[in-house]
Amino acid sequence: MDQKVDKHFSGKEYNAKEYWTERAKEAKDDLHAVCTRDVKGIRNQIMDRVQSRILSNFIKNESFAGKEILELGCGVGRWVPFFRQFGLKYSGVDISKEMLEIVKEKYPDIDFSEYNPGDRLKYDDNHFDYIVSITVLHHNPQEDQKKIIKELSRILKPGGKIFIMESCRSEYFTTFSNTEEEWEAMFAESGMRMNKKRLYRYFSVQGMLRSIKKIFKPEKVDRTKAGGIGGGAKDNEYSAARSYVLKLGLLDPYLMDFLPKRFYKGIIAEFEK
Ligand SMILES: C[S@@+](CC[C@H](N)C(=O)[O-])C[C@H]1O[C@@H](n2cnc3c(N)ncnc32)[C@H](O)[C@@H]1O
Q: pLDDT, tens digit, for every residue of 28-46? A: 999 999 999 888 888 899 9
Given this model, what pLDDT does residue 7 score? 63
Rounded to 10 deg, the angle between the 16-26 and 97-106 helix axes is 50
This prediction's pTM: 0.89
Collapsed DSSP state (helix, strand, coil) of residue 103: helix
> 83-97, 210-224, 257-271: which range is least confident on average?
210-224
Top pLDDT among 14 and 92 is at 92
Distance of CA 190 to the CA centre of its chain: 21
Question: Do 99 and 74 contact (CB within 8 A), yes or no?
Answer: yes
Nearest to 233 by CA among 46, 73, 6: 6
Which residues lie closer than 8 Å to 169 by C-beta, 6 or more apart?
177, 179, 264, 265
Given this model, what pLDDT does residue 221 score? 53
Rounded to 10 deg, the angle between the 240-248 and 204-216 helix axes is 130
Backbone phi, then psi, for 79, in 5-degree steps? -100, 5
Any ligand 1 atom below 6 A from CB of 176? no
Nearest to 31 by CA among 18, 17, 49: 49
The protein residue with its alpha carbon nearest to ligand 1, atom 1, reads 34
DSSP 123: S
| Spacing, Cα 130 to ligand 1 middle (Å) | 17
**In percent, how much of the chain has pLDDT > 70?**
88
> What is the CATH T-level fold of the domain 16-202+258-272, as seen in this structure?
Rossmann fold (3.40.50)
Which atom of ligand 1 is nearest to 75's Cα?
27
Task: Tell me how far apart the alpha carbons of residues 12 and 15 are, in angstroms, rounded to a whole number.
Answer: 8
- Grade residue 6 by pLDDT with cuts at 50, 70 and 90: low
Any ligand 1 atom below 6 A from CB of 174? no
- Grade residue 235 by pLDDT with cuts at 50, 70 and 90: very low
| Spacing, Cα 217 to ligand 1 middle (Å) | 37
Give all strands of the β-sheet with 89-94 in edge-to-edge order: 111-114, 89-94, 68-72, 128-134, 156-167, 266-272, 193-200
> pLDDT tens across 109-160, in order?
999 999 999 999 999 999 999 999 999 999 999 999 999 999 999 999 999 9
| Spacing, Cα 138 to ligand 1 middle (Å) | 9
Task: Tell me how far apart the alpha carbons of residues 59 and 61 are, in angstroms, rounded to a whole number.
Answer: 6
Distances (CA, A) of 91 to 1, 45, 115, 130, 147: 29, 25, 12, 11, 20
Given this model, what pLDDT does residue 227 score? 46
Any ligand 1 atom below 6 A from CB of 265? no
| Spacing, Cα 212 to ligand 1 middle (Å) | 34
Given this model, what pLDDT does residue 219 score? 58
Average of per-residue pLDDT across 230-258? 71
